[in-house]
Structure 1
Amino acid sequence: MRSQIVISLVSFAFSSAVLAATPESSASENGRYRCQPNASGSGWQCDAIEANSAQGTLYVPVTSRAASVTTVKKGKAPKPKGPYARLDWVDRNQLSEEDQASTPAYCAGAYVEPDYLAEELRDLDPATQPILGSSIQSETTEDGHSTLTGDVVVRQGYRQVKSNKALIDRNAGTVDLEGESTYREPGVLLIGQETHINLETKAVTIKDAEFVAHESHMRGTAQQLEKDENAIIRITKGMVTNCPPGTNSWTLASKHIELDREQGDGVAKHAVLKVKNVPVFYTPYIRFPIDDRRKSGFLFPQLGKSDDGIDFAAPYYFNLAPNYDATFTPRYISDRGAMSELEFRYLHKNNKGIIGGAYLDSDDEFNGNDRWLGSVEHSGSLFNRINTFIDYATVSDEDYFSDLGTDLNISSRTHLLRIGQASYTSDWWRVITRLHGYQTLDDAITDANKPYDRLPQILFEASYPLKNTGLEIGLKTEYSYFDRDNDNLTGLQSAVGSRMRAEPSVSWNLEWPFAYIKPTLKYKYSKYSLDDLDSSFDDSPDIATPLYSLDSGIFFERAMSLFGESMTQTFEPRLFYLKVPEEKDQHLIPNFDTGELTFSYNQLFREDRFTGGDRIGDADQLAVGLTTRLIEASGFERFRASIGQIYYFEDRLVSLTGIPAIDATNSESAYAAEFSYALRSGWRFYGDIEWDPELERTNESSIGLRYHSNNQHIFNLGYRVRNDRQKLEQTDVSLIWPLSDRWQIFTRWNQDLIHDRIIEALAGIEYSSCCWSIRIAARRWINDDDLFLANEVEEKDGIYIQFQLKGLAGLGQSLEGILSNSIPGYREQRNNDFFNQ
């Protein structure tokens, strides 16, 4: 229940001087007249009444309706029809196109607030505004009693009340509305059968009340509703729900509900959650939010079932301050024991972060050992120039993530990243100071293959363009100290120490509308100071070599027609020449952070075939590439295809280990090609291939078909093959497909064809209505670390059930992370929010 549903009653206080306006100066000697509209409706006919008239009352209209009621804009909101029109419920086929687009397809309609106010009145505080009233008849007596009858309307600022009869006692300071009365303020509708208002204390009592909050899609009923002078609303025998009128799929009912607009929350005692009017859950006390403000309290629990048994968690949220909060989650896994998880978040003007941790005492499925996790994530800025970043995580063992998972913002990796850095950025240069390390999670990785920590790493980059010349001068420098556990290592693998690199450059950008040429000259230099090496190795080696490159491209285009549609076809040849003299004996330098790039079309035009700074690849080569595109008149790219190859003029002698690669003496590289064909209907066909003409085989290729529509249909089909030391052949199909406005299925099947086994199988179905949703899924999978193991690997199974009451909370184990990782395009679909609206 949102606060404005009930708090609107708080402000429903009338001024006796306004509602009881009686022009006594117009009375005759007897002080009694009866006034009614004349026959034409253009004025009033007033007749004197004898003094002995019954009740001795004076009938005086408050004012003519045409003159008194503030003008209301009409025509924007559709006029509700049907049995629930009184609750502002509009059936879907009666909604405007704009409202239909913003209303989920599974909702049969929506609450639409009528345009009862002029726009300029919507923000006016009623306490500062006069009260305007109108009725067909009014009667006032000299003892301070007034009666308004017939289509009574009273408005003060953005508040309005309608009734057939209003009784005003100026002496007691009360107003009583008889019969059905309707109260409105922006976003709120309240209907009651009997309303009593104390003008002095501002207390309000309404019997047999119904209320609607338009924006939150919530409604409710109350046998009696009371508002006191402190803006506290007390509901007796009431209920709330997010279901459409006439469909109480779920309700939260209680004999005592208290709502506090100032605090933004509600409390229900002895509350019962009913599903289809059947009680399913009871709690002696529950606190819940009535607006969008965060509130401390229990979140709905998570429940799951896997190989480890029942998994139950009951998170508790702490709203510590507007800019920081915490969530504590006690969790019980039946086969492992009890654990707890804590997450603390903070947000300031120039920085934000998350600190988290988890602990499981004496895991019964892990030889009784303790399991734990800790993490820190931070980003900040200072003076718009200095930026800081921290991403640190640590776990007790390599199996933590696969066994226990986490709701913290951490993912399972072979090497868990630990980084802290500060940077300064100016207009044309920047400097970064960084501490960079890892925790290796796989015990099967030997010490020799574990990555080095960089403690510290200092980077400097500068790029300065000379105006109106096309020349650009650049400089990159780095200082890093590399360290790791080397107690069991020998030779170069035991080396630790520092590396300093410098890379000055100058380039010339020559650009025309139809072509470009970019020659570049660089000089690469690296210097080492090494420790823990035996005497057979140089402890202060260096590398120095120049680099020359010439990048160029031409753009051709022509008009053409495809299937009767006008298009532009482009031909974009590209030449990239690279010359790097060989620097000998690089294999006698330790490999701190260097790897070889995966071959692809984009890799044809890179200056080095290595990443990192411990190898400088020798080259005398020319890369030739061609791209063609089909572009529609609107700019939409229908088709793109690229193909290229490198021609080598010298053998490539530099390698990671000192042993040249198998293809180091080839005069040409493999062909690299890629393509993409897209349709406006949402279909896209794409692929890439690396073909080795020397071996007459495909080194690596993939092909895929993808369909993503605006109405939440997703289909992905892919095939991937790789021929190297770790052969790979996989098929992957995934699907999210609405069967109707309310039913949707999702599935994924990822198959390892080499070992004939399932990598992941996932299937599920979900139902979503305007007031509740349910999602059920079954999953079988193996860990990523086991993909290349030829022997039998352990498969894991899980069943997931997620149930959500719209506007209240959810129950079950969330599938969001699993679906995001398993089905490409799922995150984009969540923006449309099929399940969570």
Structure 2
Amino acid sequence: MTDASRPARAVLCPVALGVLALLAGPAWGQTVEPLTLRASPLLAEKLPSNAKPASLVLGDHISGRTDLETVIEGNAELRQPGLVARGDKLVYDQTTDVLTASGGVRLNREGDRYTATSGQIKVDAVEGFFLQPTYEFIANGAHGHADRLELLDRDRSTVFHGTYTTCQREDGASWRPDWMLRADRLELDREDGEGRAEGAVLEFKGVPILPLPSMSFPLDERRKSGWLPPTIGLDNKSGLNLAVPYYWNIAPNRDATVIPTVMVRRGVGVQGEFRYLENNYNGRANVNFMPNDRLRGGRNRWGYFVRHNGQHDTGIAAIGNIGLGLNLNRVSDNDYWRDFNRNGLALTTRLLANDGALSWGRGDFSASLRALKWQTLQDVNAPIVPPYDRLPQLAGRWGRVNDRGFDYSIDADFTRFRADRFWTNEPNADRGVLHGQLARPFTRPWGFLTPKAQLHATAYRFDGPLDDGRTSASRVLPTFSLDGGLAFERDARFFGRAFTQTLEPRLKYVYTPYRDQSLLPNYDSGAYDFNFATIWADNAFAGHDRVVDNNLITAGLTTRLLDPGTGAEAVRLAIAQRYRFSGQQVVLPGGTPTAKGWSDIMLGAGINWDPRWAFDGVVQYNPDSRQNTRTLLQARYSPGPFRTVSLAYRHQRDLNSQYVDLGWQWPLGALIGRGSDPAPRRASGGGSCQGDGRWYSVGRMNYSMQERRLVDGILGLEYDAGCWIGRVVAEKLNSSVNSSTKRVMFQIELIGLSRLGTNPLSALRNNIPRYQVLGADAPPPSRFTEYE
């Protein structure tokens, strides 16, 4: 090959060219078709495995032997699809496909970048080594330096005496990452998404904080088996808590976690969780066990919580699939809900359902078989009456919609109710229910009218006599209703904004004759809360043991402002009220009959004028006393990411309760004019924030104005430094009138490596409306992001 004194270029394998065909003009006399542009697909993120790439070399001086070797000196460069190699000198041996580089070596392979003093690599196989290298991975922004780096193949590499961090490098020789992993040996496997370190030390702010003789860590969001970082917590009951979880990635759709736990005041325990997700069913099981709890007299404490839902093929063509649902919950004792409220139970859960159901449906028919048994966790200061068990409950339904204009259905239910006679004076019973209904809706774009007839038949057989000596009872009640409404629309303009305004009046009449039901036990009926949904209900009670007597009419009026382009609701105003032509006599045990006349007035409003602001309010107003019976007002302001404030006011006069609820997430820098929205991160790591980082305040306060005390509260600080996030959160939850659980959670999240401490994210999500997790991942970057 001839030497050249000017920059040289060479193509080392044939390339088919079709340029001449594009440049050649049309022959004389031919019609010229207009030139059209066609859409081209995006550049492929993955190179075809069977493609033979062309190689292009550039440099100030090129020499060599044809088909044997090529030497490029001075601004030397070799290019292949997905790979660029640069250096002061490159020697490419075409017989072995080995590239030897020296002097200012730089390698870019599908966005991953390496620099070194010298190195050698098999180009197609991506095997080789670099001396005194630095590296940076595009997938998670991780980078570091080492004495030596070996490329084992396209996805695996080994770093010797090196460092690893995701903190974004800044200019200046004095820069040090906030956190860094130093290791004698780092194995990075991006095919499995796992890194392994031997002889490692974790440094934070330049201080070694954790020696790690051997550890593994994720390189992306894929799950992997192994020990997770220990968590440390502190609360006022169990004292210092230490847990060391082990995660087992059984399969892509199944996993398990085992968590040995030490509670300084209680002892040693273990928790376990198993999850599965199949095509037709899914579920999870949690089990907790602590032997010899020192705070409870050495008792063994345990609990299990199982959830399963899905469809299962019976293998019988006439039956097909049967649904199976399980909700099993049981604990060792009445105090479990106080002591272990985060081990599968909400703090206020004192009724634990053990519920199993089989369901089947085909066409117009459906059926279910259910068994439900309750475990009631009693408190001597606030005992509760256990609900009745259902052992079993068999239900069926047949119905059709819009069959020649009619809607009709028949529901049947048979239930055996059982309860401990210590808690109730009522006998157990078998109850059968038959409920049929027939409706003929007339619908038009401008309104609707729906006459409907219902028949509710109930029969009981009791284990013991009622107060009047009967051992059986029955009841048949019809219900007739007529429901109608209109919808008017007009173009409107308010505050310089165009809307479609609606006006929707509605009127409904319901009649159910009176039947004396005062001697019937109540197994499953309860009063509906009075709101905009239930004010239109035919029956004031849920369940089948009470059917209210009705002779009433309900009137309502709603107006909305709708965006004419999107149909989004900007404003909703509503009012509704009932009038009883005769007083209500059927009540629940201990209830008070309702007199003839007007009911309370329901007033509602919803305003979403601007996406940043939202307001909802419902007021139940008594016109006789001229006082609000119930009030619920809620407002939210969310001007941008990680900025939200919500405020709620709840007042219920009959219960003498009045609460104010405040929740927020807000950057502290924004309060003094220094805040700005963070940029998206690279997927699985690679902080984009620079400078001094951002402080955020998070919290929720539920305050009882009547009792003048904080009922529940959570208060914390979050700090986002870009490549790590710190959280400190204090939580108080009332477990009874005189006791509460308090705990403090600390966490440091090293982006792209691990989380250390107790995770407060579940508490923050559950308590703060619209809370956003700091460090949420952005979509994976393209391999062309760092294209050279």
SS in 2 for 1:192: strand
* Aligned 8 A contact 2:117 2:133 in 1: yes
- Alignment: residue pair count: 723
One-letter amino acid of the counterpart of residue 36, structure 1: A
What does residue range 711-726 of structure 1 map to in structure 2 within 5 Å? 711-724=641-654, 726=655
**Alignment partner for residue 663 of structure 2, among 734, 753, 758?**
734
Q: How much has 1:543 moved relative to structure 2?
A: 1.3
* Aligned 8 A contact 1:781 1:797 in 2: yes
2:109 counterpart residue number: 185
What is the alpha-carbon distance in structure 2 between the residues aligned to residue 427 and residue 161 of structure 1? 66
1:197 is aligned to 2:121: yes
Q: How much has 1:532 moved relative to structure 2?
A: 3.8
What does residue range 200-239 of structure 1 map to in structure 2 within 5 Å? 203-228=127-152, 233-239=157-163
The worse-fitting range, judged by mean Cα deviation, of 287-296 and 134-143 is: 134-143
One-letter amino acid of the counterpart of residue 412, structure 2: T
The worse-fitting range, judged by mean Cα deviation, of 388-397 and 157-166 is: 157-166
What does residue range 16-415 of structure 1 map to in structure 2 within 5 Å? 34-36=2-4, 62-63=10-11, 122-125=45-48, 128-136=51-59, 137-140=61-64, 146-168=70-92, 174-197=98-121, 203-228=127-152, 233-246=157-170, 248-261=177-190, 263-308=192-237, 309-382=239-312, 386-406=322-342, 408=344, 412-415=348-351
* Aligned 8 A contact 1:678 1:684 in 2: yes
Q: How much has 1:448 moved relative to structure 2?
A: 8.2
1:816 counterpart residue number: 761
Shift of the 831–588 alpha-carbon distance from structure 1 to 2, 3 Å rule, reads: farther
1:540 counterpart residue number: 472
One-letter amino acid of the counterpart of residue 462, structure 1: W
1:19 counterpart residue number: none
What is the alpha-carbon distance in structure 2 between the residues aligned to residue 639 and residue 199 of structure 1? 64
Q: Identity, % of aligned pairs? A: 27
1:16 counterpart residue number: none
1:480 is aligned to 2:415: yes
Shift of the 761–119 alpha-carbon distance from structure 1 to 2, 3 Å rule, reads: closer
What is the alpha-carbon distance in structure 2 between the residues aligned to residue 228 and residue 463 of structure 1? 66
1:52 counterpart residue number: none
**Alignment partner for residue 752 of structure 1, among 693, 704, 721?**
704
1:776 counterpart residue number: 728
* Aligned 8 A contact 1:435 1:454 in 2: yes
What is the alpha-carbon distance in structure 1 between the residues aligned to residue 265 and residue 243 of structure 2? 14
Q: How much has 1:394 moved relative to structure 2?
A: 1.1
What is the alpha-carbon distance in structure 1 between the residues aligned to residue 401 and residue 700 of structure 2? 50
* Aligned 8 A contact 1:65 1:134 in 2: no
1:654 counterpart residue number: 586
What is the alpha-carbon distance in structure 2 between the residues aligned to residue 831 and residue 496 of structure 1? 54
Q: How much has 1:768 moved relative to structure 2?
A: 0.6
- With the length of structure 1 as denominator, give the TM-score of the two structures: 0.80
Q: How much has 1:668 moved relative to structure 2?
A: 1.9
Q: Which has the higher contact order (CA 8 A, sep 6+)?
A: 2
What is the alpha-carbon distance in structure 1 between the residues aligned to residue 775 and residue 439 of structure 2? 46
1:97 counterpart residue number: none
One-letter amino acid of the counterpart of residue 396, structure 1: S
Shift of the 489–720 alpha-carbon distance from structure 1 to 2, 3 Å rule, reads: closer
What is the alpha-carbon distance in structure 2 between the residues aligned to residue 126 and residue 646 of structure 1? 73
What is the alpha-carbon distance in structure 1 between the residues aligned to residue 619 and residue 153 of structure 2? 75
Q: How much has 1:376 moved relative to structure 2?
A: 0.9
- With the length of structure 2 as denominator, give the TM-score of the two structures: 0.85
Could you tell me which runs of 5 or more consecutive residues in structure 2 were left unpaired when the two chains were aligned. Answer: 20-39, 171-175, 314-319, 669-674, 677-693, 781-788
Q: How much has 1:605 moved relative to structure 2?
A: 0.6
Shift of the 201–696 alpha-carbon distance from structure 1 to 2, 3 Å rule, reads: closer
One-letter amino acid of the counterpart of residue 404, structure 1: F
* Aligned 8 A contact 1:392 1:418 in 2: yes
1:462 is aligned to 2:414: no
1:528 counterpart residue number: 460
What is the alpha-carbon distance in structure 2 between the residues aligned to residue 821 and residue 138 of structure 1? 66
One-letter amino acid of the counterpart of residue 280, structure 2: N
The worse-fitting range, judged by mean Cα deviation, of 599-608 and 223-232 is: 223-232
What is the alpha-carbon distance in structure 2 between the residues aligned to residue 575 and residue 423 of structure 1? 37
Q: How much has 1:340 moved relative to structure 2?
A: 0.9
Q: How much has 1:216 moved relative to structure 2?
A: 1.4
Q: How much has 1:133 moved relative to structure 2?
A: 2.7
* Aligned 8 A contact 1:182 1:189 in 2: yes
- Once the two structures are superposed, residues 153-182 of structure 1 have per-residue CA deviations (whole angstroms, 9 ceiling, x without a partner) of 434443333333222457887531112233
2:430 counterpart residue number: 498
Q: How much has 1:220 moved relative to structure 2?
A: 2.1
**Alignment partner for residue 420 of structure 1, among 356, 359, 382?**
356
SS in 2 for 1:821: helix
What is the alpha-carbon distance in structure 1 between the residues aligned to residue 122 and residue 662 of structure 2? 67
What is the alpha-carbon distance in structure 2 between the residues aligned to residue 70 and residue 831 of structure 1? 52
SS in 2 for 1:559: strand
SS in 2 for 1:135: strand
What is the alpha-carbon distance in structure 2 between the residues aligned to residue 357 and residue 668 of structure 1? 53
* Aligned 8 A contact 1:735 1:748 in 2: yes
Shift of the 653–236 alpha-carbon distance from structure 1 to 2, 3 Å rule, reads: same
Shift of the 815–229 alpha-carbon distance from structure 1 to 2, 3 Å rule, reads: closer
What is the alpha-carbon distance in structure 2 between the residues aligned to residue 292 and residue 448 of structure 1? 46
1:561 counterpart residue number: 493
The worse-fitting range, judged by mean Cα deviation, of 294-303 and 702-711 is: 702-711
What is the alpha-carbon distance in structure 1 between the residues aligned to residue 591 and residue 718 of structure 2? 55
Shift of the 229–243 alpha-carbon distance from structure 1 to 2, 3 Å rule, reads: closer
* Aligned 8 A contact 1:597 1:611 in 2: yes
What is the alpha-carbon distance in structure 2 between the residues aligned to residue 269 and residue 285 of structure 1? 5
1:13 counterpart residue number: none
Structure of larger gyration radius: 1
SS in 2 for 1:361: strand
Could you tell me which runs of 5 or more consecutive residues in structure 1 were left unpaired when the two chains were aligned. Answer: 1-32, 45-60, 72-116
The worse-fitting range, judged by mean Cα deviation, of 519-528 and 404-413 is: 404-413
What is the alpha-carbon distance in structure 2 between the residues aligned to residue 319 and residue 206 of structure 1? 34
1:801 counterpart residue number: 746
One-letter amino acid of the counterpart of residue 762, structure 2: G
SS in 1 for 2:416: strand
One-letter amino acid of the counterpart of residue 57, structure 2: S
What is the alpha-carbon distance in structure 2 between the residues aligned to residue 651 and residue 275 of structure 1? 73
1:17 counterpart residue number: none
What is the alpha-carbon distance in structure 1 between the residues aligned to residue 96 and residue 586 of structure 2? 99
One-letter amino acid of the counterpart of residue 539, structure 2: D
SS in 2 for 1:36: coil
SS in 1 for 2:146: strand
What is the alpha-carbon distance in structure 1 between the residues aligned to residue 449 and residue 279 of structure 2? 45
**Alignment partner for residue 604 of structure 1, among 532, 535, 543?**
535
What is the alpha-carbon distance in structure 1 between the residues aligned to residue 341 and residue 258 of structure 2? 16
Shift of the 472–617 alpha-carbon distance from structure 1 to 2, 3 Å rule, reads: same
One-letter amino acid of the counterpart of residue 508, structure 1: R
2:609 counterpart residue number: 679
One-letter amino acid of the counterpart of residue 796, structure 1: T
What is the alpha-carbon distance in structure 2 between the residues aligned to residue 688 and residue 831 of structure 1? 34
What is the alpha-carbon distance in structure 1 between the residues aligned to residue 221 and residue 384 of structure 2? 53
- Once the two structures are superposed, residues 258-299 of structure 1 have per-residue CA deviations (whole angstroms, 9 ceiling, x without a partner) of 234555433211101111232111111112233443211111
* Aligned 8 A contact 2:98 2:122 in 1: yes
Q: How much has 1:695 moved relative to structure 2?
A: 3.8
The worse-fitting range, judged by mean Cα deviation, of 132-141 and 247-256 is: 132-141
What is the alpha-carbon distance in structure 2 between the residues aligned to residue 198 and residue 665 of structure 1? 92
What is the alpha-carbon distance in structure 1 between the residues aligned to residue 390 and residue 278 of structure 2? 30
What is the alpha-carbon distance in structure 1 between the residues aligned to residue 236 and residue 94 of structure 2? 73
Shift of the 274–388 alpha-carbon distance from structure 1 to 2, 3 Å rule, reads: same
The worse-fitting range, judged by mean Cα deviation, of 259-268 and 520-529 is: 259-268
